[in-house]
Structure 1
Amino acid sequence: MNRQIFSVLLFISTFFSAQKPVQIAFLSDVHFQDLYGSFSDHNFKGIINPKTGKPTILRTMDSQLHSTRIFNENYFAFLKALDDIVAKGIKIVAMPGDFSDDGQAYNLRGLHRILQEYHEKYGINFYLTTGNHDPVGPFHNEGGKDDFLGQNGNPLGIYSKENIGKSTDKVITKDIAESGYLEILNELKDFGFYPKKEDLFWSTPFDHHSFKNYSYKNGLQSADYSKRMYEVAKSFSVPDLSYVVEPVKDVWMIAIDGNTYIPKNLKESPQNTSNYKGASIGYNNVLTNKQHLIPWVKKLAEEARKSNKTLIAFTHYPMIDFNDGATSEIKNLLGDKKWQMERVPQEEVAKLFAEAGLQIHFAGHMHINDTGIRKFGENVLVNVQVPSLAAYLPAYKILTIQSPNRMEVKTEVINDVPHFDELFPLYEKEYSALQHDKTKTLWNKDILNTKSYHDFMLFHLKELVRLRMIPDDWPKEFIDKTKSLNGGDLLLFIQNKDRLKDQGIRSESFKKWSFDDLLLDLYKFQSADELAKKDIPEERLKQYQILEKLYQENQSNDLFIIQIKSVFKILSLLSHGDPADHFEIDLKKKKIIKL
């Protein structure tokens, strides 16, 4: 009797586990830097942290607050995200590029160690694709950084050669050089770049074996570095590490290598590693110099349809404009070289890939949370921007494949991270050293009072906007005019008090926030999309809506009023995009539905 009951229970358990929808976690722009790594040719292991007693290889807080990402605390956030994924029972993790700081050997080794540990302990399979930081260029290049933290609190240079960098206090190690494709492939081949025995299918754009004739042996041959080259320009052959894999039955994941390294000078030698432009522009360069990817995707989409496979693509770069329709307004206000406009993909990108049959695409690169959809006749393409763990708002995405035509996407925000404040005593030392250097601007020490990773990253954004975004992107005259203004002033520019009273609007309540607050909130929406609303007072959000409406109705020809009008228009567009937190993609109806 007991045996019969056991058999029934086993059948029920097997049946329901077989019915469980496939889930894939997407972790992008991890920018892993191994705080506790080591160099193969130097005994430097970092400076001693008085809080933990551990030697730590870290960058300065000053450098973090001038960068669009942090360099250090994301180490802990990465581990927290992986533990989160383990707790949810997810077994497939896709990483759409920039998985390392700059592809340095010691960081790649550290990343390998962690991925291998989570694979062996929890059965997670990782599938990586490349980003513009890994590799920085197609081939190995000397490199280094001036902004590591030294024992005395001053910057320390770590370089791969003696004659690089400007720091006199330095460490020389080959492990800080920027790896090329070959080194990355050799170190991380177990994480998608080569087939695994258990993969049901694996192929590259250069593999001519048919899907039906797939074998692990053929896959291994196709994965060889020498068989993954293409001409990016006449006589300039560079690698392309794109691949497609079937990790579980009937799900095909296309890992597209969107890096396009175009030579600066066609008369130079192809072996000159410094003669290649960076790849940060993304898909706009694919259209001109890496066109073989489009027919490859088309071929896969056709085969997937015939064989009843669900096709999910991921690349480092976005395929759809990520500014929620605000791009032209931003260009009019700031110019077409600001706000990372060169990274906005042309509409042709979405059109070509949608017409090739691609429908679902996950991207990183921008360190933002966003969703975009484009329809071209019967074709539809949805682009999901995966946030970075190293920027506000730190999060990852979970895709649940309910059916081939119905997908659920959920954003998992990383608010609390164990040990996120572990390095704070070292920053205290840095701050103390900075105080003695009158030539440098002090960063805001209040960041060391933050109580959660979420608050730490929000503070990082605040300082980044103050120290870099506003000085770099905004007209100085406009910023000078607005720096002393509050919300009440903005209201009274276009309405007198009597008219406001008639409309039931109290200008006094608008004085609680400044124009600086407005600009910071603009960047919150750019970074976090609808999730930014949790970090902005509800009353202020309502006041923004009132001001946006009043400014849009205003017909003034005054340039300053027109500029403020534009700011509110951009704010409104960025805060009313397609659902970007928890939503369903219905491919039959060609719709994104908020859940």
Structure 2
Amino acid sequence: MEITKLLSRRSFLAGTAKAGTIAAAAPLLGACTDDSKDQPLKPDVPDFANMKVALLADVHFHDVFGDYEFNGYNSEVTIRSMQDSVGSTRMFNENYFAFISALEKLGEQGIKYICLLGDFTDDGQMDTLAGFNRVVKPYIQKYGFEFFIANGNHDPVSPSGAHQTKRFLRHDGASVEVTSDFDRGFTPDSIVQEQHKTNRMFGAGYEHMFDVLADYGFQSKPSYLHYETPWGSEQFAKRGLNITGSDGTTKWCPDATYLAEPENGLWICSVDMNIYTPKENGHWDHRGIGWEEGKTHKKAVFDWLKDVTRRAEKQGKALIIFSHYPVTEYLNKSANDFYYVFNDASYNNTRIPTPDTADQAITAGVKVQFAGHIHVNDTAVHHNEQGTLVNVQTPSLAAYTPSYKLVKPHGPDLFEIETHTLKNVRDYNKLFPYYRREMDWREWAGADVSWKIMLEAKDYRDLMFKHLEVLIDIRLKNKWGEDMKTLFEARTPLFWLMVLSELKTNINSNQILSLLSVLTNVASDNDVISQADSLNIRADMTQAISAVYAHIAQYGMNRQQMMGVSFNEICLATLYQRNGDELALEDLSYKLLIPVNVATNLFAKHDSDGDLNTIDWEHDYVGGDPKNGGLVKMKDCDLNTIKSRFAALARMYHQFKHAQPADHFFIDLKRGIVNDMAGNKLLI
């Protein structure tokens, strides 16, 4: 273990003094002194001083030592290919070791209660659930853990279960298709050589989940002081409601919401916001947007929450409410800009809860809610006349930045939140020899192996860092608008991007491409001016270069520093911060971040209304909609389009600077405020 002094993102990007934020929290801490530890507690007094709850999101557990009825054929491991992992927003195998490492760390810290915020498995296959039990039970016996689960869109994938098909890595580096669908056809290719059918690949439904995972909050236990569901029963057949689909079909659907009191004063509330809507053909739709649909289809759960929150306040309970889904807008009000610039459907505007959804949660008495699903580290605050709601996004253990949250209630109205990042994970590279066989096979077949850099990872955190970089390069950038992709692949230096932003002439795509051919980190100003002369914009270019020199001089920067950062590095830095929030600062060089901030301060002038806190859809986005960002063709692109991308980046970085803390902070529920406590950070 090592102690490292971390810099609060607001301290770095916004230039605020961290001492001020710590001082602001001092009055809160003063009310939580440990003097009471020396006094014996009365039987009916909650022991808030020693109350701690861990929150783990999106573990996406896959049993790398599973069965799947291979009958010894591939008995060493049952793993997914690295190619599949780098094409996904999550790793499929190494999170097995990360999950175990997290459990060991929590045990060492004396944590007893662990909440899993959905997607605790990767599609809830029969064999996966069995493997999950096999892994956690020894730790329950060793440390006395008590688990509380919320189901996510990957567990279960359907109310009654559904067939699953995955590709597993064969011992020689090729792949095997493993499916529970015995009627599924198969045609081998150079990579996927054969098919294996097994019922163990079937994705379980609610009833099986309630049975197999009964001890993890889905059923009452003798040790609980209190247990209830919104449906007045623990029986599967009574835990649910009728839901009507878009075609008018109505069908009963199970619900896994529950409230448990594992010790006096601590209420743990798992809210099932998986919304499945039935279709006439017997199938179900599942959009994965949680609370946004839940306010329509699960009004009974909202009503029940209102009663739970009322009782918790009256009885002085520390109430921890969690679900798989965010209940407020996340990503610092930048989700639409991220969608416009990077065209990532995982963060698009259709998945963002509307203000009305947060308002209804506040009406239900929810003051703080912990969520996963988005694989990001973030804190968002929503205010209205009725009160304040804080949504805490817990990052995934299977993606960058792999972390969990630790909640310490200092009373019913004051929560301390710490974020712990997994760095040193035992056996994180245990499967690398298999990936090298895969690499050899793929090279023989003439297939992509651009992920080989991941096998150079020095620890688990670094592996997740490299995973996001490879994911961007082989998958995400291919969905971007062609102007974005062209700048990314040209690795255009930041200095020249700033110059482009200062041009007054709205040049067309051919002129842009002509300029990009000379906008390199070795080009002189005269080289670029000469090229501009051939495009009849010499005077405009000369003025733009002068304006950039004047701008960077205000920040004590020079041409070489701004030339040392390329557009692909800007994209990577931005997406790392999107996922890791202020945790990403540890992995990003100040030599990168400072120039990017200097540049985005210049790009801000292209915001249509001059207010970086708001978005004017009609003027800020091509075609008046962020979804059009990925549709931009280079032949249709002009400089104004590129400037609109730069303006979106400026808004993102503006919001980064003024975001809520997401590392170590206090939530004062009575006053509806969040206090930053970033400082000494324990890396594990």
TM-score of the superposed pair, with normalisation by structure 1: 0.89
8 Å CA contact 1:232, 1:238 repeated in 2: yes
CA–CA separation in structure 2 for the residues paired with 1:335 and 1:481: 15
Deviation at 1:505, TM superposition (A): 3.1
Residue identity opposite 1:339 in structure 2? Y
Task: Find 2:64's aligned residue among 35, 52, 65.
Answer: 35
Within-5 A mapping of 1:77-92: 77-92=98-113
In the alignment, what sits opposite 1:533?
585
CA–CA separation in structure 2 for the residues paired with 1:190 and 1:154: 39
In the alignment, what sits opposite 1:162?
182
CA–CA separation in structure 2 for the residues paired with 1:136 and 1:113: 22
8 Å CA contact 1:387, 1:395 repeated in 2: yes
The Cα offsets for residues 494-524 of structure 1, whole Å up to 9 and x where unpaired, read as 2424535753431111122211111111110
CA–CA separation in structure 2 for the residues paired with 1:331 and 1:454: 26
Q: What 5-or-longer segments of structure 2 have no aligned partner?
A: 1-36, 189-193, 503-543, 609-638, 678-684
The Cα offsets for residues 419-444 of structure 1, whole Å up to 9 and x where unpaired, read as 00000000000010101223x32233
Within-5 A mapping of 1:198-213: 198-207=223-232
CA–CA separation in structure 2 for the residues paired with 1:78 and 1:337: 27
In the alignment, what sits opposite 1:237?
252
Secondary structure of the 2:213 match is: helix
Deviation at 1:584, TM superposition (A): 0.5
In the alignment, what sits opposite 1:26?
55
8 Å CA contact 1:80, 1:418 repeated in 2: yes
Deviation at 1:192, TM superposition (A): 0.3
CA–CA separation in structure 2 for the residues paired with 1:368 and 1:434: 32
The Cα offsets for residues 523-570 of structure 1, whole Å up to 9 and x where unpaired, read as 101100111111111132221221111121358982222222222322
Within-5 A mapping of 1:310-349: 310-331=318-339, 333=341, 339-349=347-357
Residue identity opposite 2:105 in structure 1? D
Matched, 1:75 2:90: no
In the alignment, what sits opposite 2:676?
594
8 Å CA contact 1:73, 1:420 repeated in 2: yes
1:123/1:279 CA distance change after superposition, 3 Å: farther
The Cα offsets for residues 336-355 of structure 1, whole Å up to 9 and x where unpaired, read as 96733322111111111111
**Comparing 79-88 and 275-284, the one that deviates more:** 275-284
Secondary structure of the 1:95 match is: strand
Residue identity opposite 2:240 in structure 1? M
8 Å CA contact 1:529, 1:575 repeated in 2: no
CA–CA separation in structure 2 for the residues paired with 1:409 and 1:560: 40
Residue identity opposite 2:372 in structure 1? G
8 Å CA contact 1:500, 1:507 repeated in 2: no
Matched, 1:118 2:139: yes
In the alignment, what sits opposite 2:486?
480
1:140/1:339 CA distance change after superposition, 3 Å: closer
Residue identity opposite 2:486 in structure 1? D
1:292/1:119 CA distance change after superposition, 3 Å: same
Matched, 1:135 2:156: yes
In the alignment, what sits opposite 2:633?
none
Secondary structure of the 1:435 match is: helix
CA–CA separation in structure 2 for the residues paired with 1:335 and 1:420: 31
| Runs of 4+ deviating beyond 6 Å | none
**Comparing 108-117 and 335-344, the one that deviates more:** 335-344
Secondary structure of the 2:439 match is: helix
In the alignment, what sits opposite 2:74?
47
CA–CA separation in structure 2 for the residues paired with 1:167 and 1:420: 34
CA–CA separation in structure 2 for the residues paired with 1:508 and 1:117: 56
CA–CA separation in structure 2 for the residues paired with 1:19 and 1:592: 20
In the alignment, what sits opposite 2:129?
108
CA–CA separation in structure 2 for the residues paired with 1:336 and 1:468: 10
CA–CA separation in structure 2 for the residues paired with 1:191 and 1:457: 28
8 Å CA contact 1:374, 1:380 repeated in 2: yes
In the alignment, what sits opposite 1:548?
600
Within-5 A mapping of 1:426-445: 426-438=434-446, 440-445=447-452
1:328/1:434 CA distance change after superposition, 3 Å: closer
Task: Find 1:411's aligned residue among 414, 419, 435.
Answer: 419
CA–CA separation in structure 1 for the residues paired with 2:52 and 2:60: 23
8 Å CA contact 1:297, 1:356 repeated in 2: yes
Within-5 A mapping of 1:147-546: 147-164=167-184, 166=186, 168=188, 169-207=194-232, 222-233=233-244, 235-263=250-278, 265=279, 267-268=280-281, 272=282, 275-331=283-339, 333=341, 339-438=347-446, 440-472=447-479, 474-484=480-490, 485-493=492-500, 494=502, 495-497=544-546, 499-500=550-551, 503=554, 504-546=556-598
Deviation at 1:160, TM superposition (A): 1.1
Residue identity opposite 2:654 in structure 1? S
How many residue pairs match? The answer is 553
1:490/1:388 CA distance change after superposition, 3 Å: same
In the alignment, what sits opposite 2:682?
none
Within-5 A mapping of 1:565-584: 565-574=647-656, 576-584=658-666
CA–CA separation in structure 1 for the residues paired with 2:73 and 2:424: 26
The Cα offsets for residues 89-147 of structure 1, whole Å up to 9 and x where unpaired, read as 011111111111110011101111222222222111101111000000111222221x2
CA–CA separation in structure 1 for the residues paired with 2:498 and 2:274: 47
Deviation at 1:394, TM superposition (A): 0.1
Secondary structure of the 1:496 match is: helix
Secondary structure of the 1:236 match is: strand
Residue identity opposite 2:475 in structure 1? R
1:387/1:336 CA distance change after superposition, 3 Å: closer
Residue identity opposite 1:241 in structure 2? A
8 Å CA contact 1:159, 1:171 repeated in 2: yes
CA–CA separation in structure 1 for the residues paired with 2:668 and 2:267: 18
The Cα offsets for residues 452-503 of structure 1, whole Å up to 9 and x where unpaired, read as 001100000001111122112x202332145320112123332424535753
Q: CA RMSD in A?
A: 2.2
CA–CA separation in structure 2 for the residues paired with 1:107 and 1:167: 26
Secondary structure of the 1:158 match is: strand
Residue identity opposite 1:162 in structure 2? F
Q: What 5-or-longer segments of structure 1 have no aligned partner?
A: 1-10, 49-54, 208-221
CA–CA separation in structure 2 for the residues paired with 1:44 and 1:384: 44
In the alignment, what sits opposite 1:4?
none
CA–CA separation in structure 2 for the residues paired with 1:73 and 1:46: 22
CA–CA separation in structure 2 for the residues paired with 1:112 and 1:475: 44
Task: Find 2:87's aligned residue among 66, 80, 83.
Answer: 66
Secondary structure of the 1:246 match is: strand
Residue identity opposite 2:663 in structure 1? D
1:343/1:76 CA distance change after superposition, 3 Å: same
Percentage identity across paired residues of the two chains: 30
